[in-house]
Structure 1
Amino acid sequence: MSINTFEDAVALTKKFTTKPSNEELLKLYGLYKQATDGDNETERPGGFDFKAAAKYNSWLNFKGLSKEEAERKYRELVDELAKKYR
């Protein structure tokens, strides 16, 4: 299956019948935020909000990636995950 657009990839994630692992979800989140918002310039979350910190760090991992490259990597990841979770 080939995903043609970023929007198709986002829609496909909503059709997964099983939830991806936390690591996979974080990677999806980071790539999505990089593709839609660009580099993470937000303030680091507080120390005990572990979920927010993990999401923040995941997005930060893709700093410097262009919108187009982040979209491409997101589509590739969704394509890979769809084989496991759809």
Structure 2
Amino acid sequence: MKPTTFEEAIALTQKFTSKPSNEELLKLYGLYKQATEGDNVSERPGGFDFKAAAKYNSWLGFKGKSKSEATALYLELVEKIAEKYI
């Protein structure tokens, strides 16, 4: 199944019958945040919140990409991993 819009891609991820790998989830998160909010300008999480730090770093990894670029990459990634999880 090939999502053609951002909303379709989001809906498709909610139909996954098994959980993607942590690496895939982080990439989905980073691309989603970049596509919806743009560059990450928030402060880095401190302490031992490793999950929040990983999410922060994933989003930061897409810095400089336009919202439309991030959306296109998100659609590609969802299409690619949907084959494994639906």
Q: TM-score range by the shorter chain?
A: over 0.9
Structure 1, unmatched stretches of 5+, are none
Tell me the residue number matched to 2:57: 57
How far 1:47 sits from its partner (Å)?
A: 2.6
**Normalized against structure 1, the TM-score is what?**
0.98
> CA–CA distance in 2 between the matches of 1:17 and 1:81?
12
Task: Give the alignment's TM-score, normalised by structure 2.
Answer: 0.98
Unaligned runs of 5+ in 2: none
| Percent of matched pairs sharing the same residue | 74
Q: Are 2:71 and 1:76 aligned?
A: no
Task: Give secondary structure in 2 for the equivalent of 1:24.
Answer: helix
Aligned to 2:2: 2
The number of equivalent residue pairs is 86
